[in-house]
Structure 1
């Protein structure tokens, strides 16, 4: 049985023909259904189908019988023709391919016999040609060998050329033969021997040594009697060999003669023994007796000898290139070995050099262009001569800069300094109001002079349309009736008469309590003077002589500090004006504060960490604080001559300025000289792009630029020291002043060239001076800040003795640091800058302490006392700003945070009533409102009084009465 098809597979479509249908039926039959009847039915069906098919065919034929008969007749005709064609093809194949009588076998035999005869003929012909060519090669080779042996080298060269032609024309089959290889080997040997003998003849005909050049017009060939001329030898040499010899000859001529003559003096000796030899020898001359132009004469003689005895013998194809190849080495050697080294380094030697240069240009025209045949447009010596003025100035520039560099980087002794004295020209300052001396009304420098703070920072709303008179302070607000005339200058007491103050920051008064005036230094004028090391009596400025009236100021400085001979002007600060606005002036000179200010408060408030009332020490009345401060203020205004200042400058700067002046003088002299224009090279100055002398003139600011760029790098380690850094700032300031002086002395023509660059150097030196000055101060400020940061650690937990000792050590170290810095800078900086520098460093320390203390969230009573004691340590710093013991210090003018810091030390131990009074009187305007609020919260316990006080503080600083009007 057939394999059953799965049900999921597609079924084959039903067959259309009878055979397929019957086969399908047979396939569908099973064992049970298959029988004889079923098989008979299949046979019957097939027979019926066959019969029906035959009937359809017969019917089809009958339907078109003529066409059927025609196609049948055509088929029979085709069969007959096919039979005839087959018979004819078999007959033709037999006639062509028959082995005996066929056409192809007969033709192949004939062609084979013809090819055999042609090959025999070709072999014979090639053999004859080969033997004939070999005979010619042998004959020519023997002739060549005979000529070489006889020394007839030029003829041998012609035979070599013929032999080379024979070898090139040899048949191809002959090249691979052994006999031809032997011929080639013998030919190469003969040719090499001929070239060797020609080269040997050349080397014996042209001889070059270190100082001698010998030429033999005729040379005898070795091992023969033949004599050859030098011209025939040079013509007979092969191009490659001749090129090599000429290259060697050009090198030897350049090294032994052209360069040698250009570098050093030598005398030429020319001998001629025609026809044996011609020689050209050099005899060195003494350098001291040598004239540079004589070298050009020697070079001319050398090239004449070379052209006459060597170049005339060269073949025309090699003569012109060889002569032209000597032009570049000649002009290069002339420039590099004669003209450029002879370029003078001073103006005095220029005339002789220009004469030499004229002869060099004439030599180039006569020899290089005329004799050697160089291009007339390619004249390097003439081109260099056209710019000789620029070459001279550039060389001078290099020499000047080299000399400047040696001066700049040279190690200098620290004692190589000098003192510069200048007028202290103050900068524009706010208006200062002169006041009368009064023991009660305080007069201090204005806050605007201390730091440029706008009025808005003080809470003042000035009218923008106010006149100059309305901006002046009302005399009633100061409490003065009239202005006293200037008093005569006080005579300073000698140092021996100064009394030493007590070293203790707290001096007890008669009530066994510390006098706050001592902590503030208010009683220093009552018989006590600052320590000797803190006053101006050991100041090197005090020992200097008074400047003469003829000296003019050479530098502008910040406002000078008060001196012994010129006491500071007495001005009024807004802090004191506001604090004294509520004071009442009386005719007898006494004043009384409003009693309701203090009586409005109850007992002293409590500390935040101590609930008990504060009764350990009564605070100083706020009125007394304001009154006592007035004793430390400048008392009056003194007028007189402009004060003088001195500062130390390195001696190196004088040498730099002297060098700059010399360079400018040299450039000016060269610019006004007619040396170049009067010479034959008058076009040299016109050929340059810049006017004559401008390069040397511009070398002067280049010296300053070199100093400014090289010195800080070379001495970077030394300038890290504060003393050396400030001295460098002084050097830059002095150089700026000197450059300004030199710039002002320049004539109009010179200033047009170098004036702008000198102005730029002046500006750069002033900027460098100021920036270096502030960089040194910034380093010192960072050092002070680091000490306080690491030592004090925010002034926390000062109630503990160890922490208090650490803070005290840090503050003492900072004080010593500032004193040491002041001692180091006192003899270097001018007074104004000295006090500015020390004031900035001191102000940085005070600002750090203020920031740390005001940032404390809680200050118990014991800590407030100790913080106040720590702050009073800095009172000793005030002595650095005292020059005249009879005059108050001017620390406020240079330390902006001094008043704020002084008030802080008192506020730490003040009562709530004192703080409120000082605030209402405007004495605490240096403090921000939020700072006062934080301080009150840190100092006092949370009570209703503290709340009321904080509310009053948050209302802002009070406006003075005269401004309210």
Structure 2
């Protein structure tokens, strides 16, 4: 409740109760702002009291006097309260004035304090600036007197003094002071660097490093003081980098140079290192000794404050250069040089230990090189072997030689090669066994197939060069003659490397059989107890120097691996690489397969040379594996350490054989395509007796016949006799198969056209002179065309049928052997094309179908 309300309530209470207590209004603290309102309320209350008194005077007349007395007393109290209120207001106004005066006085005092503090700070700052200037003057004086120690001390004090001026660093005076200090530091840094270079003189032109202990006219200056100064001025890192560069150019690069005529050595004295020219290339151990002597010289003559940062920058590049220019080249390829290599490894390890004693870092590269010595040697050995194989593949093709293939087979009495009674039957069997990769040869008569299977086991045993023998027979050195590969679109690179050979072996085309009759002339006989005879078959063919060279490389690798497996090499640094060496032959043979197509592709008949070389290499590798297995039977090594158990060359041998077959198949398919394209010029031999079709047929047949002779002549110096006859016979079979097919497709053949076709067939048949086999004992020469060309007899029968009568054809079918070459439909179609429709033709066809 406010004071005004309290006074009003007191007055009302006094009126109601008739008592007028003494109100301590004078002592009340009434705000001056409330006095006018209070007085008004009091006046109003007085008026109300008077009114009440008047109204009550009638009823309470006796008490009026008392009330009047109380009212007067109240009025006096009110007057006293007014006076008190007026005093309070006056005192309040006076306090406000005093407060304002006090505030003004405080502001003046604060301002005076700030001015005093500013004056004191200004005086202190001016003292610091003056002190810094004096210190710089002293530093200038010391610098002029070549007193580097005093100069450094003064510049340190100056920097501390300037640092204390950080609060006023934006002022012009301090800025000028900092500029003067920076310029002086730059000057001092240049001089200190020059002095350091004067004490450590690394001259690139003279290839020398000279270390002095004092500067002329400056006896108090040493390297420690210069390093301290450079470090404080922030120029030590730049100086170390420059020193490292100079040491590299002046010393390291020249000493580690491998350029001919630029060999050098270190000449080290008490205070210098000089690079001197050497007449011959120093040894690796001598080089390592020189490197240590150089590092030791630096550690002795240079303070640790320089050596430690210098070593952090110098050693990594030094060891890298040392490793790649000297250490890697010092790794020998020949095992006989291992003792020297062991000395090099010991010296490298010792160098790393010596550097560790200096507490210098970065020796891990040297230690890693020592640990990886077997791997490094193996990589170099692999690189040399593969490089030799690649070089041989391109250089060895220039050298060609004739080699002999020898194989011993056992044949039975009844075999045609033994002069059995059923020679004709054997000839038929050989002709039937020929599986040419053309659609026409798939039409083989059942009876002919049955005849061809007679004595198959004996035939297989008596096969010479191009028949698959028993895969498990490791003693027979034979080569397989491949036919056409039906998947010629396979990736060349994958074929070359032999990838997927295991899966593709089953898909190879049937192998061509070598005729028995050709073996008589090149065989020697030995009769066994059972009556069978052992024939030693010999045949020559041409190869390059590549197979023998590749074999020599493989043999050398295996010999090295076998040597490292010996107990005497257990402590050899490259001993752990022995097991990995046995994988190198696989890589060498893979390199051969991968690059042979490119290398041989520049030669005429390159694919046939690949066939010969790859087949010979496969035979040589197989024979080597057999010999090594026999040799390991008497070895004292554990079975798992013997070369025969480590070598995994079976897949590589198969890959080589497959590679040879593919090369042969590719060449044959290419030649077959050419022959077919040439015969396409005859346009199906229809209207062959009318121009211009007659000329086209003559030209096509003549060109084809010439092509067969040219290819035969081209392959003759390369392939063996049997392989040559089989290849030529296959091409001839392709040509006559196409002619047979196209002639059989002619619907109507006139008499003149029939005679023309017979002449064309005779023209192709002239190539039979390529298959004449001379008798080794001077007997009558044999014509082997029918043996090497499976459809030769059919072609000859076709020529006869073209000019035969119906009676002759019927006789040949019923009494002759025509049915062995033709089926019923083929003969009847020919009869219908050659002869006009008649009862006699229909009867002849019916008789042929019934027979």
Deviates more, 1:559-568 or 1:145-154: 559-568
CA deviation after TM superposition for structure 1 residue 835, in Å: 1.1
5 Å matches for 1:283-682?
284=276, 286-288=278-280, 290=282, 292-312=284-304, 314=305, 320-323=308-311, 326-329=314-317, 331-365=319-353, 367-374=354-361, 379-410=364-395, 413=398, 416-423=399-406, 445-446=428-429, 448-451=432-435, 458-459=445-446, 554-556=477-479, 558-560=513-515, 562-563=517-518, 566=521, 641-672=535-566, 674=568, 677=571
Give the whole-Å Cα distance in 1 for the aligned partners of 2:443 and 2:750.
35
Which of 786, 806, 812 is the aligned partner of 2:677? Answer: 786
Alignment match, 1:170: 165
Q: What is the deviation of 1:729?
A: 1.9
Instruction: Choose the corresponding residue for 2:654, options 763, 788, 801.
Output: 763
Cα separation, partners in 2 of 1:890 and 1:412, compared to 1, 3 Å = closer
What TM-score results when the alignment is normalised by the length of structure 1?
0.61
Give the Cα–Cα distance (whole angstroms) in 2 for the partners of residues 468 and 713 of structure 1.
44
The answer to whether structure 1 residue 938 and structure 2 residue 833 are counterparts is yes
1:80 alignment partner in structure 2:
none
Q: Which residue of 2 aligns with 1:248?
A: 242
Q: Which residue, out of 125, 128, 138, partners 1:136?
A: 128
Q: Equivalent residue for 1:148?
A: 140
Distance 2:412 2:595 in 1: 37
Give CA-to-partner distance per residue, 1:874-915, whole Å, 9 cap, x none: 232222222248355222221111122222222233344444
Q: Distance in 1 between matches of 2:95 and 2:820?
A: 143
Tell me the residue number matched to 1:217: 213
Query: Which one of 776, 791, 796 corresponds to residue 667 of structure 2?
Result: 776
Question: Any conservation in 2 of the 1:137–1:163 contact (CA below 8 Å)?
Answer: no
Q: Quick one: structure 1 residues 950 and 155, their matched pair in 2 at CA, closer, same or farther if it must change by over 3 Å?
A: farther
Whether the 8 Å contact between 1:219 and 1:230 is mirrored in structure 2 is no
Shift in Å, 1:744: 2.8
C-alpha contact 1:426 1:560 (8 A) present in aligned 2: no
Considering only aligned residues, what root-mean-square deviation do their CA atoms show, in Å?
A: 4.5
Secondary structure at 1:642 match in 2: strand
* Contact 2:542-2:719 within 8 A present in 1 as well: yes
Aligned counterpart for 1:238 among listed residues 211, 216, 231: 231
Query: Relative to structure 2, which stretch is displaced further, 124-133 or 891-900?
Result: 124-133
TM-score, length of structure 2 as denominator length: 0.69
1:909 to 799, 803, 807: 803
Deviations 1:341-369 (A, max 9, x none): 3333434433233223323322321x211
Residues 564 and 883, structure 1, Cα contact 8 Å, conserved in 2: no
Check whether the contact 1:323–1:372 (CA below 8 A) recurs between aligned residues: no
1:580 aligns with none
Corresponding position of 1:812: 702
What residue is the counterpart of 1:743 in the other structure?
625
Q: Distance in 2 between matches of 1:266 and 1:407?
A: 39
Q: Distance in 1 between matches of 2:728 and 2:770?
A: 8
* Equivalent of residue 848 in structure 1, options 702, 717, 738: 738
Give me the whole-angstrom Cα distance separating, in 2, the residues matched to 1:673 and 1:888.
Answer: 62
Q: Give 1:845 deviation, angstroms.
A: 0.2
How many Å separate the matches in 2 of 1:109 and 1:796? 142
1:124 Cα offset (Å): 5.4
Q: Write 1 or 2 for the structure with the bigger share of helix.
A: 2
The count of residues paired between Structure 1 and Structure 2 equals: 676
Counterpart CA distance in 2 for 1:462 and 1:563 is: 22
Residue 847 of structure 1 deviates from its aligned partner by 0.8
- 1:829 is aligned, of 716, 719, 731, to 719
Does the 8 Å CA contact 2:254/2:275 hold for their aligned counterparts? Answer: no
**Distance apart, 1:870 and its partner CA:** 1.7
- In the alignment, what sits opposite 1:573? none
Residue 111 of structure 1 and its aligned partner are, at CA, apart by 6.4
> Partners of 1:227 and 1:262 in 2: how far apart?
38
Deviations 1:464-522 (Å, cap 9, x if unpaired)? xxx999x99xxxxxxxxxxxxxxxxxxxxxxxxxxxxxxxxxxxxxxxxxxxxxxxxxx
Give the whole-Å Cα distance in 1 for the aligned partners of 2:216 and 2:313.
30
SS where residue 422 of structure 1 aligns? strand
User: CA separation of 1:354/1:451 partners in 2, compared to 1, >3 Å: closer, same or farther?
Assistant: closer
Instruction: State which of 182, 187, 191 in structure 1 corresponds to 2:181.
Output: 187
Whole-Å separation in 2 of the counterparts to 1:909 and 1:104: 156
Q: Residue 410 of structure 1: SS of its match in structure 2?
A: helix
- Which of 584, 591, 596 pairs up with 1:711? 596
Q: Is the Cα contact below 8 Å between 1:425 and 1:556 reproduced in 2?
A: no
Cα deviations by residue, 1:561-611 (Å, 9 ceiling, x for unpaired): 63495499xxxxxxxxxxxxxxxxxxxxxxxxxxxxxxxxxxxxxxxxxxx
Aligned partner of residue 209 in structure 2, secondary structure: strand
1:207 counterpart SS class: strand
CA contact (8 A) 2:241 2:313 kept: no
Q: Distance in 1 between matches of 2:252 and 2:690?
A: 94
Q: Higher mean Cα deviation, 339-348 or 260-269?
A: 260-269
Q: 1:242 offset after TM fit, Å?
A: 1.3
**Alpha carbons of structure 1 residues 450 and 387: separation in structure 2 relative to 1, 3 Å:** closer
Partner Cα separation in structure 1 for residue 689 and residue 698 of structure 2? 12
Deviations 1:134-155 (A, max 9, x none): 3312322321232233224344
Taking the aligned partners of 1:461 and 1:288, their CA distance within structure 2 comes to: 80
Shift of 1:842: 0.1
- Corresponding residue of 1:886: 780
Structure 1 contact 561–831 (Cα < 8 Å) conserved: no
Match of 1:480 in 2: none
Unpaired stretches in structure 1, ≥5 consecutive residues: 1-84, 92-100, 272-278, 473-551, 569-637, 959-965
How much has 1:666 moved relative to structure 2?
4.3
Q: C-alpha displacement at 1:866, in angstroms?
A: 2.0
Unaligned runs of 5+ in 2: 1-33, 41-92, 258-262, 459-474, 481-512, 524-531
